[in-house]
Structure 1
Amino acid sequence: MKVFNIGEIPIKSWTNEVEDEALQQAVNLSNLSFAYSHIALMADVHVGFGMPIGGVLASKGVIIPNAVGVDIGCGIIAVKTDIKRIDIDQIKNIVDKAHRTIPLGHKHHKKPREWKGFDSPPNSKIVLKELNAARYQLGTLGGGNHFMSIEQGNDEHIWLMVHSGSRNFGYKIANYYNKIANKINKEINLTPPKQDLAGLYIDSKEGQEYLIAMNYALEFAIENRNQLLEQFYAIFKEETNSQKILQRIGIHHNYAAIENHFGEEVVVHRKGAIRAELGELGIIPGSMGTPSYIVEGLGNEESFKTSSHGAGRVMSRKMANKTITKEMANKAMEGIVHKGWRGDLSEAPMAYKDIEEVIENQKDLVKPVVKLFPLGVIKG
């Protein structure tokens, strides 16, 4: 861990090097009047919108929509199956069918999906407005870095992983409350303008409304992953004759929660970061072409009991698409069945940090439990 004393409170970093723009964003966070104790930067930190991805902000009495992010509740579910061996033809068949039948990118289901959460939505203008559209988004993967994968664990079992969030539903909620925060901020000057960090007092009407809507989006994101996994496992089961799931782990990495740290009740914002309580299991994926890890949290207070959420980008999406060719990307994915480039190479393995270095840099935050090697990947 490195410590930077260049803001009002320290910045503690678990990465070898922080890019200048991400570090400046961390300094902006450290200078907020309500920022508490220190800012924590995870091993996968890189520049984000307002707040760095892989950043952790604990605040006293304030919640910031942009410190949660626009994909509220984005996260991963990983399951250990009873299958120990799978051949290349089975992998190809699963990847092909999943790619054809599960809605990806901007595609939605043609019929509304069922979820008990739809029966009791919060009284939020934006939630109620978007609720009907959300019924068609449930159980869809999305695009960007969202994926479904078949993995070989070093525990000799085949695992399935799904990475997705709250879809356009969460995006609309995030933008709606960020606009409200910006409007209020112009009146009360809670945060400096032009930093994209407008906040809401947690005990205000607007702050409570956002907190409730955010938590609803978290539940929607969990259900979205569950329904995606249900579809994915059904295809896997048909091909492999799997009989049961042996273990299920689920986490989200874009959210805020009221927690107690260093004897104080604070709002912990984890943007591209996962909770790592002592003994808590988490998931840290690499890239499409590199290993991922099931990890166990060590409960380190210095990171607010948090770890990285993945390998972290070394190239922006724009830069990756400028510099990476399809030949380069396919070579990096050699031996792994994959679908979903569609002209976008921003998720190619070389756009990401070395996952082994990321894990090594946070060995005081988590310990590896299972190492997963990708066999088949469907990119959103």
Structure 2
Amino acid sequence: MNAHQLKGKDLLKIGYAPGKAVGTALALMETAFKEISKEEQLILLSKVLCSPSKYQEDELWAPLAEALLPPKQEVVTPLLPGAKDYVIYGAEGIEAGALKQMDVAMRLSVTVGGALMPDAHQGYGLPIGGVLATQNAVIPYAVGVDIGCRMSMSLYAIPPDILTTQPAQLKKLLLDNTRFGTATFKNPQDHAIMERNEFADIAVAKGLKDRAFRQLGSSGGGNHFVEFGTVELHDPENEFSLPTGNYLAVLSHSGSRGLGASIAGHYTKVAMESCRLPQEARHLAWLDLNTEAGQEYWLAMNLAGDYASTCHHQIHQRLAAALGERPLAVVENHHNFAWKEKDAAGNEVIVHRKGATPAGQGVLGIIPGSMATPGFIVRGKGEANSLNSASHGAGRVMSRTKAKQTLSLPQVQQYLLDAGVEVIGSGLDEAPMAYKDIRQVMQSQQDLVEVVGTFTPKLVRMCGDEKYMEKD
């Protein structure tokens, strides 16, 4: 036995407490100091015991110093004791879970304003349909996973009766010129978006560039769609300088595909590691825009938003070429994003719209219903209480799981037949009955937008197992 070997009782005599530190000290002495006397070993160990923090950065002594120091207390940023005031539109149709989530968001120390849209329902972090203004902070999960998801519409000088006289031809146009979910074009059309500096300068974006190129011009799954329908323009003073009346229209809904989802996942993790919040608010972790991570996310978010817009442009370009026509007008707006805007006092704030449409004074947008109910071209009224926002759609009244458990295929097929709508793809989770009444939603936001035109869907393509397709 080594005559210089210390025992646990030797350390207890000089003040060490039973536990991990004793074992760590004995192992260290045996490994690095077994040739010096016990007295010398005890002198060294006494010095570390007296001031363990001085040895935290020392390569040799750090494990013992950490064992001697009290456990680190995780610093949790507290929530405000009560929620700040915010306006709720269509409160009678909003579930308790969404209200609770919004209340939590209004207790963040960086929150300066908020509003809840009439299509709101429970999500993660900020509810879908939630609008949140913060001071110099961006919350990845308040932006959402599908960054920059948007609506885009093209109007054509083609008689709308083509929908009934040439349905097979239009259906083929959709099948040939759109892709959903994991399906992509074999030869994607190149675009300047792929040359953006962010793909080289931001590590997470660099690793996603090849996948983003493969998915160019395609649409996501879930509630994303491309559809033919008719638009009736009501307002003779419309921004398109078009006569009132009926037009053939193409409407698309999709986002930033895998690029946006991966950016959202990466920076949500970064935010949650640097901004510890109580359990009920953990998904609302934010990035300070004065930090490198905050600036990097802001650039990546804008890249994903521009990429989503590019995908829509290519969808509409393909269909315009197939129709052999140039559109008379195009409308586009997005949600799941954060904007730098001015509040009523003129201060810059970060406005998150998670499933909410910008509705500033005179701003055009599209608010869709479901696959078998109307959508609306709208003009924003610039209502300050809503943070210049409106709903982004009808909003769900059933979760995807509940819709699958509650609805039957014959029931949905009959509903579509009665509405005069044909759907390619989709599933029970996207059935029209799973959504709120869009007319009631619009009624609840009369102070936020005015209707310029009404869109009626007729031929809808979505991602899915194509149960609704006609048998060839």
TM-score after normalising by structure 1: 0.92
Q: What displacement does 1:170 show?
A: 0.7
Do the aligned residues in 2 keep the contact of 1:273 with 1:309 (CA within 8 Å)? yes
Q: Which of 437, 449, 454 is 1:354 aligned to?
A: 437
| Counterpart for residue 271 of structure 2 | 181
In structure 2, distance between residues paired with 1:310 and 1:8: 26
In structure 2, distance between residues paired with 1:11 and 1:289: 33
Q: Which of 310, 314, 322 is 1:223 aligned to?
A: 310
| Counterpart for residue 259 of structure 1 | 341
| Counterpart for residue 134 of structure 2 | 59
In structure 1, distance between residues paired with 2:327 and 2:139: 38
In structure 1, distance between residues paired with 2:449 and 2:408: 35
Please give the residue correspondences for 1:160-171 in structure 2 after superposition, counting only pairs within 5 Å. 160-171=250-261
| Counterpart for residue 289 of structure 1 | 372
| Counterpart for residue 3 of structure 1 | none
Q: Runs of 5+ in structure 1 lacking a partner? A: 1-5
AA matched with 1:222: S
| Counterpart for residue 213 of structure 2 | 135
Q: Does 1:192 align with 2:278?
A: yes
Please give the residue correspondences for 1:319-334 in structure 2 after superposition, counting only pairs within 5 Å. 319-334=402-417
Matched residue of 2:311: which SS? Answer: helix
CA displacement, residues 189-239 of structure 1 (integer Å, 9 cap, x when unaligned): 3x333531111111111000000000010100000111111223333x15x
Q: What displacement does 1:310 show?
A: 0.4
Two-structure CA RMSD over aligned residues (Å): 1.4
Matched residue of 1:203: which SS? Answer: coil
Please give the residue correspondences for 1:38-49 in structure 2 after superposition, counting only pairs within 5 Å. 39-49=114-124
Do the aligned residues in 2 keep the contact of 1:41 with 1:55 (CA within 8 Å)? yes
AA matched with 2:288: Y
In structure 1, distance between residues paired with 2:449 and 2:459: 26
Matched residue of 1:73: which SS? Answer: coil
Q: What displacement does 1:79 show?
A: 1.1
Please give the residue correspondences for 1:1-380 in structure 2 after superposition, counting only pairs within 5 Å. 7-15=82-90, 16-37=92-113, 39-85=114-160, 86-122=162-198, 123-154=201-232, 155-185=245-275, 189=276, 191-195=277-281, 196-235=283-322, 237=323, 243-263=325-345, 264-334=347-417, 335-341=420-426, 344-380=427-463
> Segments of 4+ in structure 1 off by > 4 A?
none
Q: What displacement does 1:113 show?
A: 3.3
Q: What displacement does 1:262 show?
A: 1.6
CA displacement, residues 325-359 of structure 1 (integer Å, 9 cap, x when unaligned): 11111112112122103xx2111100001111111
Corresponding residue pairs, total: 363
In structure 1, distance between residues paired with 2:315 and 2:231: 21
AA matched with 2:190: E
Identity of aligned residues (%): 37
Name the stretch that deviates more: 96-105 or 267-276. Answer: 96-105
CA displacement, residues 27-83 of structure 1 (integer Å, 9 cap, x when unaligned): 11011111103x200010011111100110000111100000000000010111111
Do the aligned residues in 2 keep the contact of 1:332 with 1:348 (CA within 8 Å)? no
Q: Which has the higher strand share?
A: 1
AA matched with 1:168: G
Matched residue of 2:146: which SS? Answer: coil
AA matched with 1:119: E
Q: Which has the higher helix share?
A: 2
Q: Runs of 5+ in structure 2 lacking a partner? A: 1-80, 233-244, 464-472
CA displacement, residues 265-307 of structure 1 (integer Å, 9 cap, x when unaligned): 1100000001011111110000000000000100111111000
In structure 2, distance between residues paired with 1:22 and 1:148: 28
Q: What displacement does 1:137 show?
A: 0.5
Structure showing greater Rg: 2
AA matched with 2:279: P
